[in-house]
Amino acid sequence: MQELSGIVAIVGSAFLAAGLVKGVVGLGLPAVAMALLGLAMPPAEAASLLVVPTLVTNIWQLYAGPRIGAVTRRFATMMVAICIGVPLGIGLLTSGAHATLALGAVLVAYGAIGLIAPHFAIPNRAERWCSPLVGLVTGAVTGATGVGAIPLAPYLSSLDLDKEEMIQALGLAFTVSMLALAVGLALEARFDAAAAGGSLLALLPALAGMALGQRIRERMSPAAFRRWFFAGLLALGVYMVVRAFA
């Protein structure tokens, strides 16, 4: 009984923290949740808890903007490629072999890119072949680690997207990624009724954290919070990589 209550406390705390980060900076729920849950359980189990909170928050993000049709048409090939890529990586997540190492490496890359904030631009003529390639790699990374921000987020930031298009494109890609991951986990018998129930319960602290994060955003600098957020992800990623080798 004590063990069960301990797991509930860990899951609740992880999703409360992940929701808080998303409420403040508008992203990071899967990365934070996977990083914290990965310290206490296998990545595949953590990913199964991630499905419902991530889907709900990103569907809301997708439909909150006015350009869903245009964004969907523009990135249709990327979405198809994400669905193809997820099965390519999911074997690493579900086998458990090196999954913690892969998750740690992705968190290190995510944190480092966020801190460095490199500025580069992809020309419009290259988008036609870059989008499906980035989608394929993003899908594979999502399948292997449960976190689909690399290389998706840096790529989208390099395009000529305004704020609304960027938010909707991220929401669309994260929604498709998580749906593909949920299907993959279900086919691997890692997302059953019990996992779905746990994921549904995890939605409550995630939404509470988002509400708290939105209030914090009104009182502090999002830029300063982002720096601490990416630094924290980098530190967690380094710890997970070291732990995997040890």
**Residue 122 CB-half CA count within 13 A:** 18
Q: What are phi and psi of 64, to 5 degrees?
A: -75, -20
Contact in structure between 86 and 143 (CB atoms under 8 Å): yes
Numbers of helices and strands, H then E, in the chain? 11, 0
Structurally, how many domains does the chain consist of? Answer: 1
| For helices 99-116 and 29-37, angle between their N-to-C axes, nearest 10 degrees | 140
Contact in structure between 12 and 150 (CB atoms under 8 Å): no
In single-letter form, the type of residue at position 44 comes to: A
* Model confidence pLDDT, tens digit, residues 53-69: 988 888 877 776 677 88
CA dihedral sign, ordered 199, 186, 110, 131: negative
Q: What is the enclosing helix (H) or strand (E) of 233?
A: helix 222-245
Average pLDDT for the chain = 84
Would you say residue 2 has pLDDT above 90? Answer: no
| ∠ Cα 198 201 202 (to 5°) | 85
* Model confidence pLDDT, tens digit, residues 175-225: 999 999 999 988 887 777 777 888 898 999 999 998 888 788 777 776 777
State the residue for tokens 């399948």. 143
| For helices 43-63 and 193-217, angle between their N-to-C axes, nearest 10 degrees | 50
Domain that holds residue 213: 2-245
Report the pLDDT averaged over residues 110-132.
85
Report the pLDDT averaged over residues 126-145.
92
Would you say residue 95 has pLDDT above 80? Answer: no
pLDDT of residue 148: 83
The model's pTM: 0.84
* Model confidence pLDDT, tens digit, residues 26-35: 777 888 888 8
Strand residues in 64-208 grouped as ranges (E):
none
Contact in structure between 173 and 152 (CB atoms under 8 Å): yes
Give the lowest-confidence range in 18-27, 50-59, 76-85: 18-27
Report the pLDDT averaged over residues 77-104.
87
Would you say residue 154 has pLDDT above 70? Answer: yes
